[in-house]
Structure formats: C-alpha cells, structure tokens
C-alpha cells in the first residue's frame, strides 16, 4: 500500500456546539483504494492556515509512503526544517494524518486498531464528561450556577457516570498565571460542595482549570477545594512551567492532571521526571498520534502514572482515544462528549452505556464517518477553535467562564 490522496474537511458542529468551533477531519486514501480517517486537534492558527500545514506535512513526509511506516514518517515531520523538537502546529497536522494511517492499516488487515497497539487489555473504558447545560438552563448563567451544576451532576450519576468535570474557577487569559479572586475561590468551593452533596460517593469530581493561576494562587485554590476530595486538579499553572506544577503537586493532596496542550514524549517526560502530575491527558490529535501516545503511556507506567486522554474535538479523535485506552494497562478514564452531531457523524458506532464504553472488534477505528454530513456543516467563521480572553482577571465582579466555545447565540 502507498498513501496517495488527502482530503481535509473543516466541520462546524451545530448547536449546542460542544467540542469547539470546528473540527479538522482528514481523509487519506491509498493507491489501492483503502481510506482512513483522522482528526487534527490544532488551535494555534486558523483552519485555512492549518489546511496548508496539513497539506504540506502530507506532501513532504507521507505521500507515496507505506502507511505502516509510521515511525519513519513521524521522524521526518518531527525533524523537518532542522528542528527535531516539539512543534504544536506541525505535530497537530501530523497527528491527524497518523491516526488515519492506523485506520487504514486496521481496515487492510481486518483488525481493530487496538489489536495493532498490543491487543485488548481493557474490556470497557470508564468515561467522564463535563457538566453541560441542557434545555432547563439559561446561558451564560449556567456556568456560574452551582445548583444547576449539581443538578446535572446528579442526573449523570443516576445514569451511571462515575466521574464529572467542572470548570468554575475563572478566566483563561493571555496574561499567564494570576491570583484567583476571592469570588472565584468562593464559587469553586460552592460548586465542589454542591456537587459532592448531590453525587455523594457515586461519582468523582474532576476539577478543571487550564493553566490560569500563579503558583501561589494555585496552592490557595487547592487548599480551598481539598475538603471535597476531587480526583484531579487539572493544569493549575501554565503548562510550560513544569517546576511550578511540581511544586503545586507536592503541596496538595489532590492529584494533578495535565497534558492537553503538550505534544510528543519530549514534553511529557519532564512532567513524569519531576512528579508534576500523576495523571496525563494527551490529546491524540495533537500529541503526535497513536504511536507517540503509546510511548507516553509506557513512560507513565514506569512512574506509576495513569492516562486520561483529553477530548475537546470531534468523534474521530474520540475513537482514537478509546483504542489507545483499550490497549494500555494504565488507563484511568477517557473524556467523552455526547451531542446529536457527534453521534450522527459516526452513525452511532460508539456508545456510552452506564458511564462506560466497550469498543467492538470492527476493523480500523471501527467508525463510519458520515462524509456528507461533515461537508454539509463547513466552518465559515474567522475565530480559532478555542480562544483565551485578553482582559485580566476581574477582582471586583464575577469572572464567568463561558464553557468552551459554543456557537454564538443570535
């Protein structure tokens, strides 16, 4: 087999829009007609710029190559331009293409991707979800309403989910780490208390932050929420400051999780080496793909750390995450997003049942991508997949984080 054709689809999920403003899907086809799907989780530049990067990475490093030569193609992309170092944009492009190669290989061999990664180690994968609003809730008020969050958490626990994620701690700003406001700390405590009261011991609380705090601020917030026993405290300081994250990890009883903004084993190794996190959250559409994620999982085994693959994207990356999770021994859980569009795009080929997922043995990624549906929802905006605010933290009024990037309401 030889890789021959590339198609790139930039799809905008309709309301409610969870998973970002757009998803970058790639379709590879071999000279003998086998197709594979991948997804690029890249947010540093706009989708049209990413189209050019993806096309360039494919043409330079992959076109005409055997899709089985994944390590060779990775080394080409990683070393391109005399770099040989992590590059978020290039690796984001390569990651989606690499996932598509695994899909091709599985289809050609009539085997699921997890069988090619070492086999079925786990029969079912524990899933978790954010607390998303439903028809009962008003936006944006929901994001600051602890009672509403607890209501959703209770519903999820009743449905069998054993872990729910909440993100009430204030703004993500371009200014780096800040001290949380007293209001943000109080809101975080209220959310944790209300959710713990609602779910009891039926579900873990996953406390989401995204690198917005100074080291001192992260420690201050950790102390405030510790009584509610969160399973993790996610990326409490900027992801490029490993020493600061290690200091936070060594000063709180809450396990630290990080990794969605990191790429390749080169950026995960210092996290493990310094004890900065016990839970790694690679985004497979950014980290270098399935082969690189498998290496990171193996490194994590040595340090007794676990993986919880990140997902704020579409269902193709979700499928890749789940194949990795099925194969590795140190999986903790996998993030999941359930919307009608996620489900329709892959024809319901992956299901969550009582908070757990069991993959079939269908070839490749085991999903059927509705290409017509993806093309029927093109992204026509000019904003990025996710964005951080320019204004600093407000210390006189509430800081309301708007829950990712749902479509703007008209």
Strand 125-130, strand 334-335: pairing: parallel
Q: What tokens were used for 283?
A: 């985004």
> Is residue 408 pLDDT above 60, yes or no?
no
Give a yes or no: residue 239 inside a domain. Answer: yes
> Is residue 116 pLDDT above 70, yes or no?
yes
Task: Confirm if 241 and 258 have CB atoms less than 8 A apart.
Answer: no
> Residue 365: which of 328, 318, 403, 306 has the closest Cα?
318
Tell me what pLDDT residue 402 has: 67
> Is residue 401 pLDDT above 80, yes or no?
no
Give a yes or no: residue 403 inside a domain. Answer: no
* pLDDT confidence band for 16 (50 / 70 / 90): confident
Tell me what pLDDT residue 400 has: 79
Tell me what pLDDT residue 25 has: 98
Give 326-368 pLDDT, tens digit per residue: 999 999 999 999 999 999 999 999 999 999 999 999 999 999 9
Element (H, E) at 409: none
Give a yes or no: residue 173 inside a domain. Answer: yes
Give a yes or no: residue 325 inside a domain. Answer: yes
> Is residue 379 pLDDT above 50, yes or no?
yes
Tell me the mean pLDDT in the region 306-329.
Answer: 98
> Is residue 206 pLDDT above 90, yes or no?
yes
Give a yes or no: residue 317 inside a domain. Answer: yes
* pLDDT confidence band for 410 (50 / 70 / 90): very low
Give a yes or no: residue 92 inside a domain. Answer: no
Give me the active site residues, please: 210, 310
Tell me what pLDDT residue 346 has: 98
More reliable by pLDDT, 163 or 386: 163
Give a yes or no: residue 388 inside a domain. Answer: no
Q: What is the mean pLDDT of the chain?
A: 95
Domain count of the fold of the chain: 1
Tell me the mean pLDDT in the region 309-319.
Answer: 97
Burial class, 108, CB count within 10 angstroms (exposed 0-12 / middle 13-18 / buried 19+): middle
> Is residue 192 pLDDT above 90, yes or no?
yes
pTM: 0.97
> Residue 169: which of 243, 234, 245, 229 has the closest Cα?
234
Give a yes or no: residue 71 inside a domain. Answer: no
Q: Beta-strand (E) ranges in 22-87?
A: 23-30, 35-40
Question: Which residues span the domain enclosing 202?
Answer: 116-362
CATH code, domain with 338 = 3.20.20.120
């Amino acid at each position: 087999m030889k890789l021959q054709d590339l198609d790139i689809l930039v799809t905008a999920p309709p309301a409610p829009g969870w998973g970002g403003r757009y998803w970058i899907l790639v379709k590879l086809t071999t000279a003998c007609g086998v197709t594979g799907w991948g997804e690029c989780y890249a947010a540093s530049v706009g989708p049209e710029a990413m189209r050019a990067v993806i096309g360039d990475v494919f043409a330079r490093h992959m076109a005409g190559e055997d899709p089985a030569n994944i390590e060779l193609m990775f080394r080409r992309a990683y070393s391109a331009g005399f770099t040989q170092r992590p590059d978020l944009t290039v690796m984001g492009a390569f990651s989606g293409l690499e996932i598509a190669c695994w899909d091709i290989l599985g289809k050609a061999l009539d085997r699921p991707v997890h069988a090619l990664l070492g086999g079925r180690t786990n029969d079912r994968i524990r899933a978790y979800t954010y607390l998303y609003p439903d028809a009962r809730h008003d936006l944006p008020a929901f994001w600051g309403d602890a009672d509403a969050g607890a209501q959703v958490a209770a519903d999820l626990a009743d449905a069998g989910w054993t872990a729910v994620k909440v993100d009430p701690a204030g703004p993500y700003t371009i200014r780096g780490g800040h001290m949380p406001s007293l209001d943000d700390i109080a809101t975080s405590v209220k959310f944790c208390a209300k959710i713990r009261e609602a779910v009891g011991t039926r579900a873990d609380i996953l406390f989401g932050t995204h690198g917005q705090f100074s080291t001192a601020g992260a420690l201050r917030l950790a102390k405030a929420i510790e009584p509610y026993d969160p399973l993790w405290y996610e990326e409490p300081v900027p992801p490029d400051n490993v020493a600061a994250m290690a200091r936070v990890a060594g000063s709180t009883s809450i396990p630290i999780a990080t990794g969605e903004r990191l790429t390749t084993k080169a950026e995960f190794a210092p996290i493990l080496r310094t004890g900065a996190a016990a839970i790694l959250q690679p985004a497979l559409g950014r980290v270098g793909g399935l082969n690189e994620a498998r290496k990171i999982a193996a490194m994590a085994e040595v340090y007794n750390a676990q993986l919880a693959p990140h997902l704020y994207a579409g269902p193709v990356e979700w499928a890749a995450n789940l194949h990795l999770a099925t194969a590795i021994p140190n999986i903790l859980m996998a993030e999941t997003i359930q919307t009608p569009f996620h489900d329709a795009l892959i024809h319901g080929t992956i299901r969550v049942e009582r908070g757990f997922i069991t993959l079939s043995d269908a070839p490749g990624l085991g999903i059927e991508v509705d290409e017509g549906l993806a093309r029927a929802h093109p992204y026509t905006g000019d904003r990025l997949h996710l964005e951080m605010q320019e204004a600093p933290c407000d210390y006189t009024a509430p800081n309301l984080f708007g829950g990712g990037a749902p479509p703007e309401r008209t």
